[in-house]
């Protein structure tokens, strides 16, 4: 397929572009600045509707509309900008992608939603663990609210346009090579990561999830948690929950260092199974 990837120069974007190209797809990278090393890279601000429509309708260098859009652009976490900027930028970009795809007849969209929708920083305990897609949405940050409303918009876009498929990938905290230096400090003070139930996911696993979601034949809107198989604390998950969230109902099958964010729905829907653990990165 010909696939447009927004946020192509970001942490997940770089890995996703590589994974898609390795699988034989033709990729057009869209980011705030074009990649000078990539001839198929275009400068686009996805929070601007005109720029989004222009890029997805086919720019001169690459021509024609893509078959699918992988939307990873946006401010990637709370903190780098004031709340109102994060909210307005991220929600506008998601709307613009959904709307442009619907108008241009691009029937497949995969985009980066977030685990933060589920209640981070869990100042109120989760309803149960491990978390899955049935957990109530409890956005507690403006960043999370932008993702929550993006998913709500996806529900309506696929209702308005039954030919449109949207997959919302609820990524856990994404770790690239440069992030694994934090592991020792986290494991010394596990309470520092209770805010997201010690969840994480390797950038390469995110890239695989993106590819699988793009390649899947789906209809409607699907919300999928994408996480590693284990927790980042290196401790039994049952012990962590009993220490920091006593009384929260737990799956009786919770075993060892099993992640407290379940990717079972992603496995059932697109065939995603995480391949990388922090141990693979720290000990190599």
Q: What is the pLDDT of residues 144-174, one digit of tens each?
A: 999 999 999 999 999 999 999 999 999 999 9
Torsion angle, CA of 251/255/261/267, rounded to 10 degrees? -100
pLDDT at 59 over 80: no
Mean pLDDT of 22-43: 94
Reported as a pLDDT band with limits 50, 70 and 90, residue 21 is very high
pLDDT at 4 over 80: yes
Mean pLDDT of 244-264: 98
Given this model, what pLDDT does residue 64 score? 84
Given this model, what pLDDT does residue 162 score? 97
Distance (Å, whole) CA 102 – CA 157: 8
Given this model, what pLDDT does residue 132 score? 98
The pLDDT tens digits of the residues spanning 80-123 come to 999 999 999 999 999 999 999 999 999 999 999 999 999 999 99
Distance (Å, whole) CA 161 – CA 103: 10
pLDDT at 284 over 60: no
Mean pLDDT for the chain overall: 96
- Hey, which residues does 258 pair with through a beta bridge? 230
Given this model, what pLDDT does residue 62 score? 62
Count the alpha carbons within 13 Å of 191 in the hemisphere toward its beta carbon: 3
Query: Is the omega angle on the peptide bond into residue 121 within 30 degrees of 0, that is, cis?
Result: yes
Contact between residue 237 and residue 193 where contact means Cβ atoms under 8 Å apart:
no
Mean pLDDT of 254-268: 98
Given this model, what pLDDT does residue 58 score? 83
Given this model, what pLDDT does residue 148 score? 98
* Length of the chain (residues): 284
The pLDDT tens digits of the residues spanning 167-199 come to 999 999 999 999 999 999 999 999 999 999 999
Lowest mean pLDDT among 54-58, 125-129, 220-224, 259-263: 54-58
Given this model, what pLDDT does residue 283 score? 72
Given this model, what pLDDT does residue 33 score? 96
Plot region of 15 (φ>0 → left; ψ -120 to 50 → alpha; else → beta):
alpha
Given this model, what pLDDT does residue 60 score? 65
Reported as a pLDDT band with limits 50, 70 and 90, residue 268 is very high
């Amino acid at each position: 397929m010909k696939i447009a990837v927004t946020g192509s120069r970001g942490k997940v974007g770089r890995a996703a572009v590589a994974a898609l190209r390795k699988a034989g797809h033709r990729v057009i990278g869209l980011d705030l600045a074009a990649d000078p090393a990539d001839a198929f890279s275009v400068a686009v601000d996805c929070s601007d509707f005109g720029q989004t429509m222009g890029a997805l309708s086919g720019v001169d260098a690459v021509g024609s509309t893509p078959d699918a859009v992988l939307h990873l652009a946006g401010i990637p976490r709370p903190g780098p900008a004031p709340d109102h900027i994060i909210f307005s930028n991220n929600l506008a970009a998601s709307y613009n992608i959904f709307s442009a795809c619907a108008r241009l007849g691009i029937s497949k969209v995969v985009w980066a939603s977030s685990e933060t929708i589920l209640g981070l920083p869990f100042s109120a305990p989760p309803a149960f663990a491990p978390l899955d897609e049935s957990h109530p949405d409890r956005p507690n940050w403006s960043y999370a609210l932008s993702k929550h409303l993006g998913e709500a918009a996806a529900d309506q876009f696929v209702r308005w346009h039954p030919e449109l498929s949207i997959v919302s990938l609820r990524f856990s905290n994404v770790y690239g090579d440069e992030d694994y230096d934090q592991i020792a400090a986290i494991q010394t003070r596990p309470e520092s990561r209770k805010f997201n139930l010690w969840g994480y996911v390797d950038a390469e696993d995110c890239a695989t999830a993106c590819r699988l979601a793009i390649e899947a034949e789906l209809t409607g809107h699907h919300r999928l948690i994408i996480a590693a198989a284990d927790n980042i604390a290196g401790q039994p998950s049952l012990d962590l929950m009993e220490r920091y969230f006593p009384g929260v109902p737990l799956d009786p099958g919770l075993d060892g260092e099993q992640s407290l964010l379940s990717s079972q729905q992603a496995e059932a829907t697109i065939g995603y199974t995480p391949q990388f653990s922090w141990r693979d990165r720290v000990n190599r």
